[in-house]
A and B are shown apart, each in its own frame.
Chain A
Amino acid sequence: MSVEINVLLVEDEPHIRRVLNAVLAEEGYRVYEAETGARGLIEASTRKPDLLIVDLGLPDMDGVEVVRSVRHWSEVPILILSARTEETEKIVALDEGADDYLTKPFGVGELLARVRALVRRRARGGDGVPVVSFGDVKVDLVRRAVTRADEPVHLTNIEYRLLAVLVSHPGKVLTHPHLMREVWGPGQAENSHYLRIYVSRLRQKLEPNPTEPEYLLTESGVGYRFVA
């Protein structure tokens, strides 16, 4: 990569900061660190990072607060780190606009995979790619056409809308309420069983092995994620 990619790491635990810094630097990212939420917000506005990694349990403010503040003025990808006691906060943070999460303890490989996916999306100019392909499936978002191994796949209206929302945000965890809003409109939050059934149908039509999906992944208790 010729252009240097800046990552801002907001984490109060020095050991984790050190490890993440070392790992990310090794991969060629330039890492800036912040120990507190307040410091993180200042760094975010001055450094204009390409990716934010935010720990939910910060000493001075809630990680969710950081996500909310940054989202006021920036679409920068945000990866949140959570301990198991912060599970519900994790969902709140995703709903506030965070893109992905990792639960401690996590492996380095997992971290790098998430970071790469988020940075790649950023580099590609974000969402709005006309044709998304995964496996042998191609989704043409302009012509509203889906093919699998070059054969057209018939999708119902709702199936298509759901697929379009998912593939427009590759790598991003989309929460159940968010998907319900996007596909069925507001006020349908209590009907989330529709979402489960339609995701299952999409998998039947598009996944090589629907019981072990590779592209339309479940984030238990949180939502769904599309990975290409």
Chain B
Amino acid sequence: MTCGKAANASWSSAYPMAITACVLTAVLAMPLRHYLDLANIVMLFLLVTFLTALKLGRGPAVVSAVLGVVLFDYIFVPPHLAFIPTDAQYMVMLVVMLAVALVTGQLTAGAREQTELACRREEQTRRLYQLARDLAGALSRWDMQRALDDYLRHSGYRAMLHLLDANGVATTPVAEPGLAEHIDAVLRRGESIEGDAAAPALFIPLKTPARISGVMVVSASGPASPPAMQDREMFLVVASLAAITVERLDAADEVQASRDQYASERLRASILSALSHDLRTPLTALVGMTDTLALSDGRSADRPTPEMLAAIRDQARSIGHMVTNLLDMARLYAGNVSLRKEWQLFDDVIGASLRQLRAAHPGQPVRTRLAPDLPLVEFDAVLLERVLGNLLENAVKYAPAEPTIEVDAWVDGRDACLAVSDRGPGFPPQRIERMFGLFERGNPESSRPGVGLGLAICRAIVEAHGGEIRAENRADGGARVTIRLPLGTPPAFEEEDEPG
């Protein structure tokens, strides 16, 4: 039994095939007519009719039977090549052959129907299995809706899910009042109902032992009508699969929520410890130095030295830098930063970051290499400037002895890339993967001021843009951080018509 293929040849080819088979039999049997008994030649025609009934169906078989009798009578019964229906016994032959054709055709048709039914069931089961697998893999309600859509599209239906959250409140309001009424009724009664003319659909509750988590509304995808009777059982199965999925997703949400809460509590603890240790230390130094100045006030012999003033300024600046980073981090992790993405060039943000760097570290050599014709990239300029600023600041801070910092920009496949490299000691190899974590520092006991936020902020910003950031040590020494942002499709740009 083969599924999926049409077992019946089409009408237009079935009859010619039946006729051809008869004629061919007659032609082949012609040379044998002197050796074979007439009764045996009849057997040949009977066989052809039988096979025709089996393969081509009832109609062609009847044609085959009649034609067989005619050919037999005309060719094989003496006198040859003439119709002389003298003998009534050939009428018996005709009746037998017709009977064989009809009975065999009937049986075959029945068997074929059975086969097709079995095939349809198998297909249905296979697709249901596929749906169950898709639903098991669904990570969101959106995935779930898509799996259902995929499944139902084949059968010409569509389903809408109206889900309730854990508190029993609808996640999306129902627009049409007719629909809302039926959905409420299903939720109240807990059993499926059929809609009326205003809402021609079948309403099935998504029931799990614990609760009713929503309603599935099924309607035909063409002209609006409720599903046919024979398909309803299938929808009940689909609804129960969907109900299990909703329950699983709800549980996953709960786990995620408690995990988020744990992470935010840990973040708060880390910020507190960073504030208490890393900010107190420079603040203590600052207070100490200003106290010294206050004590020396008025005595011209102890006038504040330029070194001391510079030290105070540096300490204050580094505190300012840390506070900025902490604020950024708090904003980014609170999740309420909306990106102001615009299509622009890397040149702008690189130029602006380098100007900041020059203001803080005059004379710092930087080499920029920008690939020619860099395309427009969509990003938030202020945030990307923070990323680049942090990377440049790190390069200056950790690689002061080997001063040349390199900034590169290029396009690689579907990404626009931006890299900052230095010739310093590089990242500690065993911690390189963790450098972008919150409050991670290359050397935790480093005397350089900082709380280990810079790279974490960079990662948060780059990932908010759908990009990625990677740290590596260069083969010939030094650290390198590469940012990749997806290129996307830039808006159209039309050149001016006439040159000025």
Contact = CB atoms under 8 A, between A and B. Distances in A.
A-B CB proximity, top 5 nearest: A157-B500, A221-B382, A193-B343, A220-B381, A218-B352
A155 interface: yes
B221 interface: no
Interface string A193-228: 110110110010000001111000111110000000
B324 A196 contact: no
Contact of B354 (A84, A155, A199, A212): A212
B380 A110 contact: no
Interface residues of A, number: 30
B347 interface: yes
Contacts of A217: 351-352, 355
Nearest to A103: B324
Contacts of B354: 211-212
A192 interface: yes
Interface in B350-405: 350-352, 354-355, 359, 366, 368, 370, 376, 380-382, 384-385
B385 to A, nearest CB: 4
A156 B366 CA distance: 32
B493 A210 contact: no
Contacts, number: 80
Contact of B344 (A156, A158, A196, A212): A196
A212 B368 contact: yes
A125 interface: no
Contacts of B382: 87, 220-221
29 contacts: A84-B324, A84-B327, A105-B317, A105-B320, A107-B359, A154-B499, A157-B499, A160-B500, A191-B491, A192-B342, A193-B342, A196-B343, A196-B345, A196-B376, A197-B376, A197-B493, A200-B345, A203-B347, A211-B370, A212-B355, A217-B351, A217-B352, A218-B349, A218-B351, A220-B349, A220-B382, A221-B340, A221-B381, A221-B382
A25 to B, nearest CB: 20
B348 interface: yes
B500 A155 contact: yes
A221 B350 CA distance: 13
Interface in A103-158: 105, 107, 110, 154-158
A105 B370 CA distance: 32
Contact of A194 (B349, B355, B493): B493
Contact of B350 (A110, A192, A211): A211
B365 to A, nearest CB: 12
Interface in B308-358: 316-317, 320, 324, 327, 340, 342-345, 347-352, 354-355
